[in-house]
Structure 1
Amino acid sequence: MSTMRAVRVVGYHQKLEMTEVPVPEPTGPFDVVVKIGGAGVCRTDLHILEGQWAEKSQVALPYTIGHENAGWVAAVGSAVTNVAEGDTVIVHPLVTCGLCRACRSGDDVHCESSAFPGIDTDGGYADHLKTSARSVVKIDPRLEPSDVAALADAGLTAYHAAAKAAKRLTPRDTVVVIGAGGLGHIGIQVLKALTASRVVVVDRNPDAVALAVAIGADQGITADGSHVEQVLEATHGNGAEVVIDFVGEGGATAEGVRMLRRHGDYHVVGYGETIAVPTIDIISTEISIVGDLVGSYNDLCDLMELAARGLVTLHTQKYALDDFQTAISDLDAGAVRGRAILVP
């Protein structure tokens, strides 16, 4: 049996370990094994190591993490017809059943019997990943998997939130994006592609703010303590119709709610802290607090269309798979511009 490298969680509050494990093989008729060309490093991976997902995922340790994957089809099950060996693919993060009500509605993220490689089963910080025919999107072979891998989750989550927000945004509206990092810098580009509204970006890192403006944000604000006031000033004292919070920790949620206009939507994407809003404030201003998980398979196809047209470009920092610890440490220290990608 051939083996491969895999970066695994061996214990919570412990460092990841590189080990040799068997190469996965198609066992079910719809299985697809992907040779990894790039695996994104996500803040959720840090939260996994902190044990934040232990209860939710009920995953048995040790296991391989990594839920933002792209590469080439290495092997397929007997019933797979949509991809063939050698095809370049990006992998939707979830393995879904296709038969439940949610899947039938195209809302496969809420599938009743899904698996989430990298969260509750083996993921892509490895040479190969096992997924399903329903989860692979064939992409232009000229696209380099390591350039697009993070679109599978960071991009997809940002797209999902931005597309939901876009349904209500008009040319007269302002949307505030909190956090212009791995997700935020994609969200900004998606908002510019889907809406005519004004995009204002807030980040505590001046370099991230500069990147945000360079990729199309209408206004960049450095979070220096006066940023809530600056947002209010930019919206004539009213606040923004929509706030999309890609941070969700470190005090961002209280500030985000303060930036919101009456009847505004506050989209929660980044996470880590608790939102505390008096119920009287919610009803008297009629605000909505909206949760945004990863997007659906159809969302991923739409996002890849934007990427193919050059409307969404991922800014990446690449690391060899063996240098996984450096990538994790850099992300933790806030030293990654855009998205960190492991390349086997």
Structure 2
Amino acid sequence: MSQTMRAVQVVGYHQALEMTEVPVPEPAGPFDVVVKIGGAGVCRTDLHILEGQWAQKSQVQLPYTIGHENAGWVHAVGSAVTNVAEGDKVIVHPLITCGLCRACRSGDDVHCQNNEFPGIDTNGGYAEYLRTSARSVVKIDDSLEPADVAALADAGLTAYHAVAKAARRLRPGHRAVLIGAGGLGHIGIQALRAMSAAEIVVVDRNPDAVKLALSIGADHGVVAEGGQVAEVLELTGGRGAEVVVDFVGEGGSTAEGVQMLQQAGDYHVVGYGENLDVPTIDIISAEINFIGNLVGSYNDLTELMVLAARGDVKLHTQKYALDDFATAVADLDAGTVRGRAILVP
């Protein structure tokens, strides 16, 4: 007789999530790993899923269990798994990947041609257990607790992936503008500080978020009250920054962000929700680049875990019991979560 577990499921778009009882997953293939969830991050993408924004892209069959930021302990393994054992503390890379396609072989797991994405197109981690694969689990340092690092699996990984790309371009004396110091931004600031000597300017509407940004490594904080473009230009000698990393991507942030970019600058889109509206003449005359960022590779996640174990990246979290999932989602939607909301079974 198979055991059952609690799981929070999407039962319909524009409908509230529902708690249900489903069977505990078991390893089905030789490389499967079942993780006992210690923490599941609540992400703005989960709100976008409920709004139906991912319905066409994911083609997921409802109902299914949501949640793509997961960490915990290895509960069971398939017959061929050798990299982890039962009881190991792990963080879960968001994608289940094949390892055989061109993208996987070049370490670019996110673009695996045969991937599954728990929480997006198959069952995720707003539950007591999650099935993933041996290729997706990263052992974490003894000093780290799953509930404290769960959101690094996606929010942290996405922020790290974007700023690691940005850091390859940034030299000492260069400037980077980071828009948004919330759940993703506060991780991006710390990761960029650890990886780059560039001057970091953080822009956010919330004065408390700006204060937090300054305390974790930003050189300048700008409260977005209408004059933020002028203020950033002043901080960058009138030229704008070499790199802008936009963790917001909605509410008009992109139109302002592009004005903060210098010639031949890179605009990294991380947060999303609105359309880019930029005259093409502005793109060619300034020769600027728009760069999309989605999650990050397995190697990105292992590197981020090194920064976490060293204390260079700390996640600010607000924890909720799994049963209080509705409150966590409502708080995130209302913008009252500081850092990241984590469900703890």
* TM-score (normalizing by structure 1): 0.99
- The match for 2:98 is 97
Deviation at 1:157, TM superposition (A): 0.3
**Aligned partners of 1:327, 1:251: CA distance in 2, in Å?**
26
Deviation at 1:142, TM superposition (A): 3.1
Deviation at 1:141, TM superposition (A): 2.9
Q: Is the 8 A contact 2:3 2:23 kept in 1?
A: yes
- The match for 1:250 is 251
* TM-score (normalizing by structure 2): 0.99
- The match for 1:40 is 41
Extract unaligned runs of 5+ from structure 1.
Answer: none
Q: Is the 8 A contact 2:143 2:309 kept in 1?
A: no
**Aligned partners of 2:67, 2:87: CA distance in 1, in Å?**
22
Q: Is the 8 A contact 1:87 1:141 kept in 2?
A: no
Deviation at 1:281, TM superposition (A): 0.8
- The match for 1:2 is 3
Q: Deviations over 1:148-171 (max 9, x none)?
A: 000000000000000000011011
1:162 and 2:163 aligned: yes
- The match for 1:299 is 300
- The match for 2:109 is 108
- The match for 1:266 is 267
**Aligned partners of 1:228, 1:293: CA distance in 2, in Å?**
26
**Aligned partners of 2:252, 2:69: CA distance in 1, in Å?**
27
Q: Percent identity?
A: 79
Superposed, 1:187-266 pairs within 5 Å as 187-266=188-267
Deviation at 1:236, TM superposition (A): 1.2
**Aligned partners of 1:36, 1:141: CA distance in 2, in Å?**
16
Measured on the aligned residues, the alpha-carbon RMSD in Å equals 0.5
**Aligned partners of 1:209, 1:27: CA distance in 2, in Å?**
47
- Counterpart of 2:173 in 1: which secondary structure? coil
Name the amino acid aligned to 2:230. Answer: E
Name the amino acid aligned to 1:90. Answer: I
**Aligned partners of 2:141, 2:187: CA distance in 1, in Å?**
20
- The match for 2:283 is 282
**Aligned partners of 1:92, 1:168: CA distance in 2, in Å?**
26
Deviation at 1:278, TM superposition (A): 1.2
- The match for 1:181 is 182
Extract unaligned runs of 5+ from structure 2.
Answer: none
Q: Is the 8 A contact 1:262 1:287 kept in 2?
A: yes
- The match for 1:340 is 341
Alignment size in residue pairs: 344
Displacement over 6 Å in runs of 4+:
none
- Counterpart of 2:341 in 1: which secondary structure? strand
Superposed, 1:8-87 pairs within 5 Å as 8-87=9-88
Name the amino acid aligned to 1:329. Answer: A
**Aligned partners of 2:234, 2:141: CA distance in 1, in Å?**
44
Q: Is the 8 A contact 1:6 1:125 kept in 2?
A: yes
- The match for 1:88 is 89
- Counterpart of 1:167 in 2: which secondary structure? helix
- Counterpart of 2:25 in 1: which secondary structure? coil
Deviation at 1:255, TM superposition (A): 0.6
Name the amino acid aligned to 1:153. Answer: D
Deviation at 1:115, TM superposition (A): 0.2
Q: Is the 8 A contact 1:201 1:219 kept in 2?
A: yes
Q: Deviations over 1:153-206 (max 9, x none)?
A: 000000000000001101111100000011000000011000000000001011
